[in-house]
Amino acid sequence: MTLCRGAEAHEGVEKGKYTKGLGQNNMAFVGDREDIVSISLTATQNFLEKYNIDPASIGHLEVGTETIIDKAKSVKSYLIELFARAGNFDVEGVDCVNACYGGTAALLNAVAWVESRAWDGRLALVVAADIAVYARGNARPTGGCGAVVMLVGPQAALVMEPGLRGTHVEHAYDFYKPEHTKEYPTVDGKLSIQCYLKAVDHCYDVYARKFSQAHGGARFSLSHVDFAVFHSPYNGLVQKALARLVLNDFLVAPETPGYESVQVYKNVEREETYFHKNLETAFRKLSEPVYATKTKPTTLLPTELGNVYCGSLYAGLLSLVHTQGDALLGKRVLLFSYGSGMVSTLFSFKVARSVRDMQIKADLTRRLSQRRFVDPKDFHASLALREERFCAHSWKPQDPKSDLFPGTFYLKAVDDQYRRTYKRSPPPPPAAKL
């Protein structure tokens, strides 16, 4: 399901606050019929079917999520049922938790597993999924929902560049979820932006140092990067982040041609510029052509689905595959992953093989066009229902199953011991040959 159409008018905010201000077009959400387990089951099973993957060929499965419905039982422990059917019970991995960074942690772990002595020749699956919801108010339009599945193994189309990653971690209370009875986070909005931009700066430093070490002392800059994908809480912040990378390029080599318009900023301290309006405007303008060519092609799903938390960055990567296809061959894709609290990493892929199959199977244009748009008031009603359900036992979902796409897992019931049972709507017919 997807929210849109008249949201600004309904909320009584100025026209363009969500579309131009946040830079968002639409937002995905689920009612009481789906939860973090069901959306992960749906994405994983559909992925296995689309790519015709034998569940027995998977030896490692990690889930990155911050949608916690149980403090001990992992989402992974539900997904294993999809592999148990094929007699495969030997699948390592659990859930990785650190706000929106869990998907990246899971991915890095899966890649390390394949490269380690423990690798048994099978493939790894990574599921990055979340349901992002906020209490009613300014933050609610920055929600979203989605699940991204990634297959990790040798002969990959997207190859992680070994050693090329810069991580920055710090203790911060920018966004966290201490309220156990609520699905909603506690957010310090200003601190969130500051932490995110600070993380961009510091990851840039570490990545640039490693890039230089790996390239005989060459200086890193965005000119070495063909595309830049960002964790996307909302598109406005992605634009700021790209501008921030340009600022970092500039501060390292301010005399480089092209920086004439921003020379006045060449001695700024980065720490003092997170809310520097003039500087921001100048670098936003300076970075516009870079944004248009290197980042805009990554923003389709994040602007249509909203913040997918752990899946956000990878929804951006899939958008890039969708918009570029095999024009990506040989290109370097830079990715910035951010999880509040905070853990962040800047890393890169080289596109080594055709992504055409991925582009076809993702089928984004058709799938986005099939979404059902609902009225903002129905969206709020859905979230009100989720509030009621959040800590409850002994209930059955009331949302109609008829709204679900074919092959969607859904919640059947939660019993008096809080045990959840799931079913799947009839799967789609096998895809026509293309």
Query: Hey, which residues are catalytic here?
Result: 66, 100, 231
The minimum distance between CB 94 and its own copies, in angstroms, equals 4
Whole-angstrom distance, CA of residue 384 vs CA of residue 376 = 12
Residue 173 or 405: the one with the smaller Cβ distance to its own copies is 173
CB 150 within 8 A of CB 44: no
Contact present, 48 and 38 (Cβ < 8 Å): no
Neighbours of 135 (CB within 10 A): 16
Across 314-341, b (16+ Cβ under 10 Å) vs e yields bbbbbbbbbbbeeebeeebbbbbbbbbb
Nearer to its own copies, 115 or 378 (CB): 115
Provide the minimum distance between the beta carbon of 152 and its own copies in the complex, in angstroms, as a whole number.
12
Q: How far is the CB of 349 from its own copies (least distance, A)?
A: 13
Q: Minimal distance in Å, beta carbon 319 to its own copies?
A: 25
Phi-psi region of 341 (alpha: psi -120 to 50; beta: other; left: phi over 0): left
- Whether 152 contacts 123, CB under 8 Å: yes
In the complex with its own copies, the residue whose CB is nearer, 97 or 251, is 97
Cα gap 283→371, rounded to integer Å: 36
Q: How far is the CB of 214 from its own copies (least distance, A)?
A: 11
- Taking the least distance from each CB to its own copies, the nearer of 143 and 339 is 339
Task: Look at the alpha carbons of 31, 33, 37, 41 in this order and tell me if their dihedral is positive or negative.
Answer: negative
Based on CB atoms, which residue is closest to its own copies, 6 or 162? 162
